[in-house]
A and B are shown apart, each in its own frame.
Chain A
């Protein structure tokens, strides 16, 4: 995706619920408007990150899948 992240979080190898817990912490550490790039290998994280963003109101700009790695771009909105 053509976005420039302000910070990167590697959740490779982590199982549910750790990617969500770490994403929450990392997004809280951003300024409003900044973007987090999060990388996970847990296939469940695709639906989980969507659900997390929908519930918290932060914006999931998009995600990519590449040979078992899922990369998410999340913008802090508030």
Chain B
């Protein structure tokens, strides 16, 4: 049976919950001897901003899957639009993650780099969002659509988050 040699991931969201899967799967794939590239575009670039990884937030609004703060008491999702609710939801998520002993995102990013996962920042969306190379963490490459496709077109699993 032929096995894919590569994992190609597009990370395009900058919320805490959407930032984890690329790094969990990326580091695991590297540990399974796969070549890994993660391509960060649009809000995904937020993950790579210096000092930002452990400060990403969760959006409670329009997220009906968000567990309720008090079990059994249903809070209408529309309340997520109230001021301060993003901080409340983020605090809740962070405390659940600590309780489950989940690694911090900054740790997973460090392991990813150490294990040879290539992190590519999308030049075009950097320009759109006014992000400079020096705003981003070290050890990245800057590239575009062709960079991702060239990697993804050879024996790869491709995922988007």
Contact = CB atoms under 8 A, between A and B. Distances in A.
Interface stretch (B66-74, B75-83, B100-108, B122-130): B100-108
Given A21-B111, A55-B3, A16 B31 contact: no
B65 interface: no
B137 interface: no
A21 B31 contact: yes
Residue from the set B24, B28, B100, B111 with the largest chain A CB neighbour count within 10 Å: B28
Contact of A15 (B27, B33, B103): B103
Nearest to B103: A18
A15 B24 CA distance: 11
A17 B33 CA distance: 15
Residue from the set B27, B31, B100 with the largest chain A CB neighbour count within 10 Å: B31
A42 to B, nearest CB: 9
A52 B27 CA distance: 12
Interface residues of A, number: 14
Contacts of B24: 16-17
Given A21-B111, A55-B33, A15 B101 contact: yes
A9 B148 CA distance: 36
Interface in A1-35: 13-18, 20-21, 23-24
A21 B3 CA distance: 20
A56 interface: yes
Contacts of A55: 3, 32-33
Interface string A42-56: 000000000110011
Given A17-B24, A51-B32, A55-B33, 14 more contacts: A14-B101, A15-B102, A16-B24, A16-B28, A17-B27, A17-B28, A17-B31, A20-B28, A21-B28, A21-B31, A21-B115, A52-B32, A55-B3, A56-B32
